[in-house]
Structure 1
């Protein structure tokens, strides 16, 4: 009998599941899409029940593995961050999932007293922004007396047959309500955002155990939920980025760049995970990366992002065309939610291929904007996420960074990361990142060309800014 951890990776647009052995081998995988709706400009919602059903579908596909009988010895859970769900005591949702991209609370955030932003920075390492969970929680609670939590809490609740109301520390650190030094909900922040403590789940370390399965179709009762991580944090764990000078970039709907640090810092800091001790990281969040590629593909009448990158590769450069994909404002390091998207530098000779190439460049430039803020020398950047299948994007990233990019050899890096934590918790010795192979992309342009392209991008970003840099 083969023993495996069932790793569930619930992301913004897909839910995935994978059976992972103690050696890090993938026995089987499953996936299912999750719909997004935008009922008003700036509103991004998902249906909580649809999200749950997508997880069940992914589990069903993965566990139908026919290569031999598999014993699932534990559940590992990786989830999208900052998105918020509200539900009543019987486990029924009371409204939509408010996605991390949702900016309906941006004006409310802007009206908060300045001391709140200062308090948030000192307690959480973050800043007040509509991307984070607390403003979304307040919006839901204004409409219903409910439990509120991030997606990990919602899935734990349903996986345990509505028996547990728990969340993981790294996910909690993205809410603006969790003191990442004291490692508990902050009474001052709860008061500042008017969130009742009784509405929130209890916080546990990443490997502390989160109950057992109950009444989950396709799974036996009593399987322990061993480990939980936020998806970007799970990718960092899976990439083995635990030393100074290493960093990972996740290319998803948005992007996350994370690098480990020795201790808490009150600026751009997050709690990556909490085991026997806290692991802190500096992080920059990009609002639109994969989403920018999808938008451009749609604009050009292309069927998908793959067709976009194929078209982009037919030209040597964007020929001075620059896309700034500030569709919901700019994230790190600019944090200007009032900025608006722009496509600049076009001429009568501009083609669809140049615009496609500008979209690819935009993703890479945004990563560079964040890595430029990392103190010290960055020795390596490890890349993961769906967009890393594009050799053009990875080469462009290396060119603009000026040092090699190592792309993970498997797309399920978040699932593997949380599965590795689960197996370690179950007593197995693991070093999966050390055994993993990478596709390495070396810079192919000189420093002068790199500086020129980066200056061109900076000028375009400055032109769409509303708030001063």
Structure 2
């Protein structure tokens, strides 16, 4: 076995992590550091770009102090919170404003104006995205229009815009390398996913000079080197967090699907080498590009996944610890017609209803804590079901298995419910940290530490496969009740 390691930098919304992987794809050291969340106004979410960098830098140094020499690092892979937008001075590396985080809603009104002006079809056709404040374009426009002097500096080539991957590479190379990869570029709403280039028509629409944009590279190649750790280490893999998780789950063939059960749920389906335009309000995105071959994905988001369990714990004190939900939900054989719609912050794909709200239907005198707990797990699984059915419809592909990761995938009952509803296998791997693993795989392929995707598939190990039970009638009834409840939860608040 090679003594070489790959460092995966996993820069997330609330913390930064570094994990060292050996040549067998096993984690051998890790470090994590939280950083501050900034909420200047209602609906605004920011990060200090220097805090992002410092937290990530500290985790690298921490891992390199754990019996791992910088000389043994074959390469660095980066995965990151997507869409978060940073602008800085090209010469000094000083940010001109805080990072505007993907969750930030300050540009929602401008997005509404774009829709009113009829730009939805153009933007979806070019970028695969729906118009939303979630993506980088309107955030970047806001910074250029609201920070004094920013637009002039940008036009004169004095500013850099980047998503978090670009910012970290700029810092790691002391400003020598200014790049992003196709997966992150495809989340900006400025990138044409067909030509794989920044789109001049969109840049004009958003009033963004092209001098501010990074060079777009593949997801697995040597972009440059960092010399911050006494030796030259290649930086050689980049992917946005959900695309990295898809790769870490080795969903490398058309039709393969993964779901990450986190605070929300993120589903991606590999659609092969052609982008599939969604008719069901899903996003079309670049999955990755390796050796000149680009693969695409369909993506759908559930806003509230594991957060529904947190609400049972913190909101109504039904449980004291999130781990208790499985035992409580298992105390009953079914939910006795109780349906929980966890639309606490509206409904995501395929409904996209920001005015929907959480609801519980079907309560009777016989309803117990166990019924509500089980119905909550069913509510998470049924939201995932709706997105996968939309993906199947868009791609004309029936899924054969669902690969799962994320914190809530440790819940066996949730995954059994998911398998029953889908009537297909739900597969949980031994390594649930698939986002960082995906970044490590992309970097390792670029420097030859991993020889091929085929070799990587041999490393992927199953922890447990959940097989569907045969009660079709019960599942169909549950799905019917769910859709009835969703329809009654929609548009609860007046818009």
State TM-score, norm by structure 1. Answer: 0.91
Does the CA contact (< 8 Å) of 2:6 and 2:75 recur in 1?
A: yes
- Aligned pairs for 1:450-469 (under 5 A) are 450-466=475-491
In structure 2, the partner of 1:91 is: 93
Measured in 2, the distance between the counterparts of 1:461 and 1:114 equals 30
Aligned to 2:316: 300
Q: CA distance change for structure 1 residues 51 and 67 in 2, over 3 Å: closer, same or farther?
A: closer
SS at match of 1:256: strand
Instruction: Tell me the secondary structure at the aligned position of residue 167 of structure 1.
Output: strand
Contact residue 111 and residue 132 of structure 2 kept, 8 A: yes
The equivalent residue for 1:109 is: 111
Which has the greater radius of gyration?
A: 2
**Residues of 1 paired with 2:86 and 2:478: CA distance?**
41
> Is residue 414 of structure 1 aligned with residue 438 of structure 2?
no
State which of 215, 237, 247 in structure 2 corresponds to 1:227: 237
1:50–1:68 Cα change, 3 Å: closer
| Deviation for aligned residue 1:60 | 3.1
Residue 120 (str. 1) matches residue 136 (str. 2): no
Q: Counterpart of 1:429?
A: 451
1:68-467 to structure 2, matched below 5 A, reads 71-89=72-90, 90-112=92-114, 113-144=116-147, 145=150, 147-215=160-228, 219-262=229-272, 263-267=274-278, 268-275=283-290, 276-301=292-317, 302=319, 304-373=321-390, 374=392, 375-427=396-448, 428-430=450-452, 431-438=455-462, 439-444=464-469, 446-466=471-491
Higher mean C-alpha deviation, range 95-104 or range 264-273: 95-104
Structure 2, unaligned runs of 5 or more: 151-158
| Stretch deviating more after TM superposition (423-432 or 172-181) | 423-432
Relative to 1, partners in 2 of residues 1:69 and 1:157: Cα closer, same or farther, differing over 3 Å? closer
Tell me by how many angstroms 1:162 deviates. 3.1
Distance 1:68 1:87, change over 3 A: closer
The alpha carbon displacement at 1:221 in A equals 4.8
Residues of 2 paired with 1:189 and 1:281: CA distance?
A: 22
In the superposition, relative to structure 1, how do residues 116 and 353 fare at CA in structure 2: closer, same or farther (>3 Å)? same
SS at match of 1:111: helix
Displacement of 1:37 in angstroms is 4.6
How far did residue 229 of structure 1 move?
A: 0.8
The size of the alignment, in residue pairs, is 464
**Aligned Cα RMSD in Å?**
2.5
Between 1:417-426 and 1:176-185, the stretch displaced more is 417-426
Structure 1, residues 342-395: CA drift from partner, whole Å, max 9, x if none?
A: 333334544444433333222211111111122221111111122211112211
Is the 2:254–2:270 Cα contact (8 Å) retained in structure 1? yes
Q: 1:128 to 1:198 in 2, by over 3 A?
A: same
DSSP-derived class of the 2:118 partner: helix
DSSP-derived class of the 1:332 partner? coil
Shift of 1:247: 1.0
Q: Name whichever of 443-452 and 47-56 sits farther off.
A: 47-56
* Distance of aligned partners of 1:68 and 1:221 in 2 relative to their CA distance in 1, 3 Å threshold: closer
1:449 Cα offset (Å): 1.1
- Give CA deviations for 1:405-451 in whole Å, capped at 9, x if unaligned: 00121122121122112111112314223332211111235111111
Question: Measured at CA, do residues 107 and 341 of structure 1 come closer, stay the same or move farther in structure 2, by a change above 3 Å?
Answer: farther
Q: Alpha-carbon deviations, 1:215-240, whole Å to 9, x = none?
A: 4xxx3353111111111111111212
Instruction: Determine helix, strand or coil for the equivalent of 1:195.
Output: coil
CA deviation map 1:89-145 (0-9, x unaligned): 322333333332333322321121453211111111121122222122222323222
Question: Contact 2:24–2:459 at 8 Å: present in 1 too?
Answer: no
Unaligned runs of 5+ in 1: none
